[in-house]
Structure 1
Amino acid sequence: MPLDAARALAAAPRETRIAWTPKDVLLYHLGIGAGRAATEPAELRYVLEDRLRVLPSFVTVAGDGGVAGEGAGLDAPGVDVDLTAVLHGAQRIALHRPLPPAGEAARTSRIAAVYDKGKAAVLVLRTEAADGDGPLWTSDTQLYVRGEGGFGGERGPSPRLPAPAGAPAHVVDRGIREDQALLYRLSGDWNPLHADPDFAALAGFDRPILHGLCSYGMALKAAVDTVLDGDAGRVRSYAARFAGVVYPGETLRIRMWPEQGESAGPAGPAGGGRIRLTASAVERDEAPVLADTVVEFA
């Protein structure tokens, strides 16, 4: 069997040095749809270097775009699988402090768990980054590998959460450009599933799909802008399950349920809390895109 769970779990962590600049952050923000409208003051904080605030989901591409992307962990010992069988199942990031617009860090990654789902396996890649001032972030990437289950391993936990109660406090729509995936991939996730129609057909799609982490970033930006008044530094963690695909050219509808109530004033819910969130594809009868999604904030 191409997947050797025991060998993957026993492998030594991979350590690398990474660096990023404001140009990398600006490109990432443009890749998730920032800068529309181009003269809107709220958007300029994402696209002008003299006032740049870093959206926490940037950690998924910081350095090279591969470690937390959909190809993450596929070069680890014991992992030899067909890329067309791999889907990004879920993503969680935890921020230890706000991200600087430029920096260098030591990054350590390892396969933290391998779960047996019967017809598929789930790999959990854990990545930790720290600079001279201490820990920066921890990221858990879950990769769903079709056809690699049935090896007798643990099934693992379920990420499913109860549905949010009541009507959402906020509903926003975000249009996805036809070239959104082509722009987003410049941040480092080169999986041809998102650009090559022939490769997408091999994976069972009628055309290239948007990167899951692109919709992930778009949804977080909507939550930060709508509930936290654009203060990205308040985000402490962000987790989502990828419930379905979205295609370039479609519209992402994001529903938000802030918990602990909303305070008076522009700062959003006071005293910290969390935002429950869902995202769907409007043009396909609101097919689910993101589920079990939670933003925790200070």
Structure 2
Amino acid sequence: MSAIVTARALVRDAAARLAAAGVASPEHDAAELLAHVLATTRGQLPLVDAVAPADEAAYGALVARRSAREPLQHLTGTTSFRHVDLVVGPGVFCPRPETELLAGWAIEHAGPGVVVVDLCTGSGAIARSVLDEVPGAEVHAVELDPSAHGWAERNLEGTGVDLRLGDMADAFGDLDGGVDVVVCNPPYVPLEAYDGVAPEARDHDPALALWSGDDGLDAMRVLERVAARLLRPGGVVGAEHADVQGSSAVSVFAATGRWRDVRDHRDLAGRPRFVTARLAP
């Protein structure tokens, strides 16, 4: 008779294995993977008295893949962002918790009839969240990468978001001068930072979603020009950046003379995270 294997023991052993592999959140990921296999939640795992051999084997396979630094979201196929659940996988950037703050800023500036444009939408996380929390807003989104656009289609299906495939540089010409809020999580990793990027992002996120020239601000410069074209006078733009770009990202907007109220915002850990500005009258 085989020994009973408990969920607690499996998670404990898996967490140790993930920690040894350099995974940043081993306990969380170990529990999340077992909950996925058992079709339950992390909070319900303590109620699991025994794990069947087939589930144990499936769990072991997923832990091995996570130990190889395959993103957790690719293994579960879903991720949560603010109050919505998104489907994600290979070919799309997995939204990070810190981006929820930028989405929150966009939501604060949205309202019934307010026109919001989400550039570089990726999985559609920000666009979906804006419409989820402000149902009366008019939301438009664009994504350049065909694979990522396919994931956004799935996440935005039936929401009413106007999703387009294309380059943000020339997107939404039909909306020029009539947009209230532009929001964007652009690529912002400098090419020289390749070795310092976590394997989950470097080896699995799309290159188009990561790299942005020698200083990481090439896309930000394009965004500044596009936002100036799209926004009505007094409209606002918000864009995420790397934590080392708190000053340089602000300078992209401040240096042109087109913007007022240019300021940077910190994340919950106190790190510079996104820049906002208002188009001058």
> TM-score range with shorter-chain normalisation?
under 0.3
TM-score (norm 2): 0.26
Q: Which has the higher strand share?
A: 1
Larger helix percent: 2
User: Which of the pair has the greater relative contact order for Cα pairs under 8 Å at 6+ separation?
Assistant: 1
